[in-house]
Amino acid sequence: MVLNRLLILGAGTAGTMAANHLAKVLDHDWSITVVDRDVDHHYQPGYLFVPFWMDPDRVLKDRRDFLPGRATFRQEAVRLVHPGRRQVELAGGDLLDYDWLVIASGSVPRPDLVPGMADGALWRDTVHEFYTHEGAVALRDALPASTPAGCSCTCAASASPPTSPWSGSTTSAGGWSPTTAASCPSTCW
């Protein structure tokens, strides 16, 4: 019988870890519900590689695969928390009751707070970030002329991929020279 309700808002890294850790220690008289607006778990450090070589889809996985079996996943945006009533209001109007609430809704870049950064036509044209999936993709699209194309095809053979996209340098001829032969794979990504 469920007596207590754990509600986790956000199924990114923090919400997913909270759900998994708490699933191990909470008795089965606890229900666990995780809410997120979508099903795409983002491996955010992978954004670093997207502008240079990585397929953007590779940093996305179905977030439901990482939640513990006893958790219920609810896909919907959260609109409001009513702490006095211990309720969370979803975008569609449903109310979720909780006994414990974990807010793990992450952060968003605020370039608008840096004068000159996000205003005007330069944003995502010549001014970029790679702290969001769409930002990393926009930076990739803005870089084709300077992307070291040689990194994908002309490097020395190696069994493992480079540890970072900066393990080499561009050459004056416009090519790509890996720092060490072992730092690039033999095939294109």
Ligand X SMILES: Cc1cc2nc3c(=O)[nH]c(=O)nc-3n(C[C@H](O)[C@H](O)[C@H](O)COP(=O)(O)OP(=O)(O)OC[C@H]3O[C@@H](n4cnc5c(N)ncnc54)[C@H](O)[C@@H]3O)c2cc1C
For residues 42 and 58, the answer to whether their CB atoms sit within 8 Å is: no
User: By Cβ distance, which residue is nearest to ligand X?
Assistant: 12
Contact letters (x/-) for ligand X, 74-113, by CB under 6 A? ---xx-------------------------xxx-------
Closer residue to ligand X (CB): 166 or 181? 166
Q: Which is nearer to ligand X, 38 or 112 (CB)?
A: 38
Residue 20-59 contact track with ligand X, rule CB under 6 A, x = bound: ---------------xxxx-----xx-xx-----------
11 interacts with ligand X by CB under 6 A:
yes
Q: Which of 21, 80, 131, 141 binds ligand X (CB under 6 A)?
A: 131
Which window, 12-20, 22-30, 93-101, 143-151, contacts ligand X (CB under 6 A)? 12-20
* In the complex, minimum distance from the CB of residue 14 to ligand X, in angstroms, rounded to a whole number: 3
For 42, 109, 128, 140, the CA distances from 57, given in Å and listed in that order, are 9, 21, 20, 13
Interface ranges with ligand X (CB under 6 A): 10-15, 35-38, 44-45, 47-48, 77-78, 104-106, 130-131
